[in-house]
């Protein structure tokens, strides 16, 4: 059962909350073979030693390619030397090709974003006047006016007005969004287009540092830094390379002593070294990291660093807003509950009248429920002459109307009780009991009261209900199987929060949450050695987003939230945090699976090359030639060819990622060893044997 932290402030459950649009747009196909051809020039450019040295394993392959090339040139009649040289160069090229393909997809999106950048003319506010200046002349703090048809000249916050904005250039979503001042939907992005109305924008970024500029740099990979896990794996691969290098070097004196010097030429030793070091994972490591960030981009999530993607894979605590994430969003009126002695129709009539001036979604749902359930037609404010309308505000937390000698009010329990008592009335104990019952059931109670000739009194309660999204319990159960604790954050009172938490199936909840409460919760979890992820869109979420290991800011949110987070969800879909965690885990699993496959490959290639090298000097070693390879030259060449081709074969898997299934770490390790460890052992035996059979058909080899 979920548990709650201690409440820290009075209930705010009656304040309506807004929501972002829901989108599930996914990018294009994960792998297109034509990209191999398009990326070939970039792969060739990456042969620069200054670039290759960043990957120790592939740098050794490059050096080996150069060495065998020199030896082949010195002995141009040695077909075996030329064959080994060609396939070593192909191995190096294929490794670069994997990284180039991964980067190429980001560059394609960057080109699309560049097209969205336009040199705009801004209408800068100077005192009471406006002046037209190039968008590049704008500075932080400048105020600019944008009307229908204008391109917003820079990133900023709306400080005046409300407008419909087309953000398709950034999000790819054609549906316009609303941007307005004074809320969590105030941020606008340079390059987007105003479709209606008029807004005044305060510029918050310098030219060249806009959100689109940052997106271009990130999707191109220019800002991608190696993550700690990636650095650690590179160190491991470099260590293995050094170990195998020393082992191969010592083979030469052993061969001379055994009288097998002819079988251990420098070309053969180079081929052996390339086959034994973990070239497969070394070649694909960068591609896996880039593809992990690219998978987020395809889901319209912009990761500010690869570290954030990896952290998502290790997250153990997930903080989610209730409204819009766990529930559908706007609470809906579900029932009118009158106090004893009050007809239900009278309560419905008063509830509808008091809601006519309430333009919140909750207020409109009260009007609709009275119409649908009690046959009361939907009246308009203009139909009631001499009526005094009381609009809903966050300060009063109630709305109402004064008409025909009656004062009708509807709102939060505390506000209505205080209003009744101010007029000499007394809120009945029954009304308090009804509100407690609704709150304990997960609903939000609103009291309806009237002050007329009979005095001030409570008529009954409106039951507002939060609707939990379909499938949320199953998704949280899936996260639980991943070992992730889910915490619901809400401004609701503890009774309401507890009921929603139990219905949704979260592990814990934080009720009446303030920014300080969120920060304290994150720090407590991190103090226990856990990684924490959370979503947010408001300025009050910025401290917690900055503190969290994975902070996902909504694109519809404020500039402060987007600056604080290390990811931005361009679709502003809070539930996407669950997908981000899955993508992070998929990245880590893909890297682990291909590392397992690569090391297992090396074991199999050992049985192909070593027996072929020393079978002449030590005939008993021929028993290790379990593949029955036709000749020493064919065995060595087959292993080198397979070593190169397996890189290309695994490029789609590196880009797409290994499918993630929720399971324990022990079970996942057994699965990786069973699938990729066993597969890495078996695949070379089959592949090398097939290549050997094909090579044996060529004259001079079989």
Sequence ranges of the binding site for Mg(2+): 537, 541
Distance (Å, whole) CA 290 – CA 102: 6
Binding positions: 358, 362, 392-399, 410, 537, 541
Distance between alpha carbon 281 and the CA centroid of its chain, in Å? 25
Q: Say how many C-beta atoms besides its own lie within 10 A of residue 672's C-beta.
A: 19
Distance (Å, whole) CA 534 – CA 25: 21
CB of 673 closer than 8 Å to CB of 592: no
- CA angle 563–564–565, rounded 5-degree value: 100
Distance (Å, whole) CA 625 – CA 678: 19
Can you read off the two tokens belonging to residue 383? 């139909």
CB of 330 closer than 8 Å to CB of 365: yes
Picking from 186, 166, 165, 162, the residue whose alpha carbon sits closest to that of residue 174 is 166
CB of 611 closer than 8 Å to CB of 687: no
Beta partners for residue 134, in sequence order: 121
Residues labelled as active-site residues:
321
CB neighbours of 193 closer than 8 A, spacing ≥ 6? Answer: 149, 150, 151, 152, 165, 166, 169
Binding positions for ATP: 358, 362, 392-399, 410
At what angle are helices 429-440 and 494-504 packed, to 10 degrees?
30
Which string of DSSP letters, residue by residue, matches 3-72?
A: EEPPP-S---TTS----PPP-----S-S--THHHHHHHHHHHHTT-HHHHTTSHHHHHHHHHHHHHHHHH
At what angle are helices 79-116 and 211-220 packed, to 10 degrees?
170
CB neighbours of 30 closer than 8 A, spacing ≥ 6? Answer: 295, 298, 652, 655, 656
Picking from 343, 369, 341, 376, the residue whose alpha carbon sits closest to that of residue 446 is 369
Beta partners for residue 406, in sequence order: 403
Q: 362-394: b or e for each residue (b if 16 or more CB lie within 10 Å)?
A: bbbbbbebbeeebebeeeeeeeeeebeebebee
Residue 93 CA: distances (Å) to CA of 117, 199, 595: 35, 53, 20
Strand (E) or helix (H) holding 622: none
Strands 143-147, 193-203: pairing kind:
antiparallel
Residue 591 CA: distances (Å) to CA of 570, 573, 598, 650, 676: 27, 28, 10, 12, 11
Helix, strand, or coil (residue 298): helix
Q: Say how many C-beta atoms besides its own lie within 10 A of residue 224's C-beta.
A: 20
Distance (Å, whole) CA 309 – CA 549: 10
Beta partners for residue 188, in sequence order: 156
Distance (Å, whole) CA 349 – CA 138: 55
């Amino acid at each position: 059962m979920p548990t709650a932290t201690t409440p820290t402030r009075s209930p705010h459950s009656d304040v309506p909350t807004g929501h972002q649009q829901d989108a599930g747009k996914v990018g294009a196909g994960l792998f297109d073979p034509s990209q191999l051809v398009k990326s070939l020039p970039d792969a060739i450019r990456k042969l620069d030693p200054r670039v290759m040295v960043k990957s120790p394993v592939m740098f050794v392959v490059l050096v080996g390619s150069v060495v065998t090339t020199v030896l082949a040139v010195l002995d141009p009649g040695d077909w075996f030397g030329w064959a080994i040289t060609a396939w070593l160069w192909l191995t190096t090229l294929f490794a670069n090709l994997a990284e180039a393909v991964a980067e190429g997809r980001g560059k394609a999106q960057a080109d699309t974003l560049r097209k969205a950048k336009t040199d705009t003319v801004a209408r800068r506010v100077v005192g009471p006047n406006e002046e037209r200046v190039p968008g590049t002349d704008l500075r932080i703090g400048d105020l600019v006016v944008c009307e229908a048809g204008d391109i917003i000249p820079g990133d900023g916050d709306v400080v005046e007005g409300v407008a419909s904005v087309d953000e398709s250039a950034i999000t790819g979503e054609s549906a316009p969004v609303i941007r307005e001042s004074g809320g969590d939907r105030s941020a606008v992005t340079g390059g987007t287009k105003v479709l209606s109305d008029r807004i005044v924008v305060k510029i918050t970024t310098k030219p060249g540092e806009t959100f689109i500029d940052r997106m271009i740099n990130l999707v191109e990979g220019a800002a991608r830094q190696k993550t700690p896990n990636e650095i650690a794996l590179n160190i491991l691969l470099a260590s293995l390379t050094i170990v195998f290098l020393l082992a191969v070097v010592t083979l030469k004196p052993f061969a001379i002593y055994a009288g097998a010097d002819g079988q251990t030429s420098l070309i053969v030793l180079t081929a052996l070294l390339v086959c034994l070091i973990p070239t497969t994972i070394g070649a694909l490591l960068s591609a896996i990291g880039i593809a992990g960030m690219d998978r987020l981009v395809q889901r319209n999530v912009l990761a500010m660093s690869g570290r954030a993607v990896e952290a998502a894979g290790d997250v153990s605590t997930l903080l989610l807003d209730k409204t819009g994430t766990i529930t559908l969003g706007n609470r809906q009126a579900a029932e009118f509950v009158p106090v004893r002695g009050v007809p239900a129709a009278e309560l419905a009539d008063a509830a509808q009248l008091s809601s006519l001036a309430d333009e919140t979604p909750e207020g409109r749902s009260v009007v609709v429920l009275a119409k649908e359930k009690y046959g009361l037609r939907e009246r308009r404010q203009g139909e009631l002459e001499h009526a005094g309308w009381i609009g809903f505000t966050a300060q009063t937390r109630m709305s109402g109307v004064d008409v025909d000698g009656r004062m009708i009010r509807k709102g939060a329990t505390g506000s209505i009780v205080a209003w009744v008592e101010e007029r000499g009335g007394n809120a009945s104990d029954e009304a308090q009991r009804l509100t407690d019952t609704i709150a304990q059931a997960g609903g939000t109670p609103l009291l309806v009261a009237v002050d007329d000739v009979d005095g001030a009194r409570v008529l009954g309660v409106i039951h507002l209900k939060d609707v939990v999204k379909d499938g949320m319990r199953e998704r949280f159960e899936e996260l639980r199987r991943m070992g992730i604790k889910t915490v619901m954050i809400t401004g609701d009172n503890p009774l309401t929060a507890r009921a929603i938490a139990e219905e949704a199936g979260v592990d814990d909840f934080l009720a009446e949450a303030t920014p300080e409460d969120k920060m304290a919760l994150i720090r407590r979890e991190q103090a226990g050695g856990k990684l924490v992820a959370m979503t947010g869109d408001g300025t009050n979420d910025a401290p917690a987003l900055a503190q969290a290991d994975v902070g996902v800011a909504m694109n519809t949110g404020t500039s402060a939230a987007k600056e604080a987070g290390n990811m931005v969800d361009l679709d502003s879909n809070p539930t996407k945090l669950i997908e981000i965690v899955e993508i992070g885990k998929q990245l880590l699993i893909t890297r682990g699976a291909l590392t397992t496959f690569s090391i297992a490959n090396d074991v199999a290639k050992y049985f192909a090359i070593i027996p072929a090298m020393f079978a002449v000097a030590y005939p008993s070693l021929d028993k290790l030639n379990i593949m029955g390879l036709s000749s020493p030259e064919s065995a060595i060449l087959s292993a080198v060819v397979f070593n190169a081709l397996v890189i290309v074969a695994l490029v789609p898997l590196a880009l797409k990622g290994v499918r993630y299934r929720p399971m324990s770490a022990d079970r996942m390790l057994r699965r990786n060893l069973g699938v990729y460890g066993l597969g890495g052992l078996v695949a070379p035996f089959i592949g090398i044997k097939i290549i050997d059979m094909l090579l044996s058909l060529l004259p001079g080899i079989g």
